[in-house]
Homo-oligomer: A and B are copies of this chain.
Amino acid sequence: MPKKPATKIVRLPAKASAETRAHQLQPALVPDLERKHTINDIARLANVSKKTVSRVINESPFVREETRARITEIIKRVGFTPDPQARALAFRRSFLIGLIYDNPNAPYVINFQEGALGALRRMGYELVVHPCDRHSDEFLTDIRRFITRQKLDGVVMLPPVSENPTLAEMLRKLECPYIRVIAAALDDPKNLVMSMDRQSAAEVAEHLAKLGHRRIAMIMGPHTFRSAIERLEGFSNALADRGLSLPPEFLAEGSYTFESGAACADILLSRSPRPTAIFAGNDETAAGVYRTAYLRGVKIPDELTVIGFDDSPLASRLCPSLTTMRQPIRDMGRMAAEKLVAKIAGLSDVPAIAATTVVPHLVVRESSGPPGK
């Protein structure tokens, strides 16, 4: 099914009208579903130049309405969709967005990814995932190569790698639009999707205070994580506001892992008197607290209230089910995608994009109750 003459055949002079060429080169009017259509095929079918088809594809206002309607109809009928790589080459950009993360929390990553992907698809972008190791020597080089090689239109970064100032600096130099998902205003708001962890942690303090707890402990995340600092400060300030305190012997630093939660809980539950409530830095840490309580025979919630953070699937699967802060991860993925694309689209007119914030809220389940004796 020759769409163009074999090489030996003499070419028509360039000035041959589109009509003539259309007549000579188009063997049949039935749409050819077997072969992939190109912009040339559409141009031929519509009796216009490929430039005009290009204008329609890219929604240029400089096309007569009648022409646009006709071309659009043909595009739909034959199921044409422009070749992304060819567009990428000509546009010098890829319509690809990178997702950079080193977060070990699988549900977090998957949910975020799917939220972002849903939004990106609608806007004609694809997502390329890039897990990384922020402790590797080649960390920055690796990300830089990823971005320049793929000519990424932009990237979204998840915590904790999103908190890295050197990385953000590099992206700025590369002029690569980016969104940082983060727990504090570490950058211009237009580059952020921010989770208000400080306020959320205050909500936990209020919950515990209302239940009547007075000996309250916390297992914070690693101090190198901004979210850990935000949650700690929000929590201890809110306790102070209610005349409660977070004494040093009731504060332990974990690493947002199950194992660290178990180890820290072991220390906290050795205090005498021991705390009646533990606010764990995240759900994984809370699961570690459950583990230690189980081994020591401490009953939750009768003898110990436990609060998590994330509302990962784990929270509802633990017994008793875990009271925790729900983060709308999927929504955050969607928001990050939309915000990034808005930035990319408006690169020239630099619209002031407002801050995008999200406030996690408490989901009360079985693991919190009034203090025992």
Contacts and interface: CB of A to CB of B under 8 A. Distances in A.
Interface of A: 36, 81, 83-86, 88-89, 94, 106-107, 109-111, 113-114, 117, 126-129, 131, 145, 148-151, 258, 284, 287, 290-291, 294, 313-314, 316-320
Contacts of A85: 85-86, 88-89, 94, 151
A316 B150 contact: no
A129 B106 contact: no
Contacts of A314: 313-314, 317
A316 B89 contact: no
A334 to B, nearest CB: 14
For the complex formed by this chain, how many copies does it contain in all?
2
Contact of A84 (B111, B150, B320): B150
22 contacts: A36-B148, A81-B149, A83-B89, A85-B94, A106-B106, A106-B107, A106-B109, A106-B111, A106-B313, A109-B110, A113-B129, A114-B131, A117-B129, A126-B150, A258-B316, A291-B319, A313-B314, A314-B317, A317-B318, A318-B318, A318-B319, A319-B319
Nearest to A316: B258
Contacts of A89: 83, 85-86, 89
Contacts of A88: 85
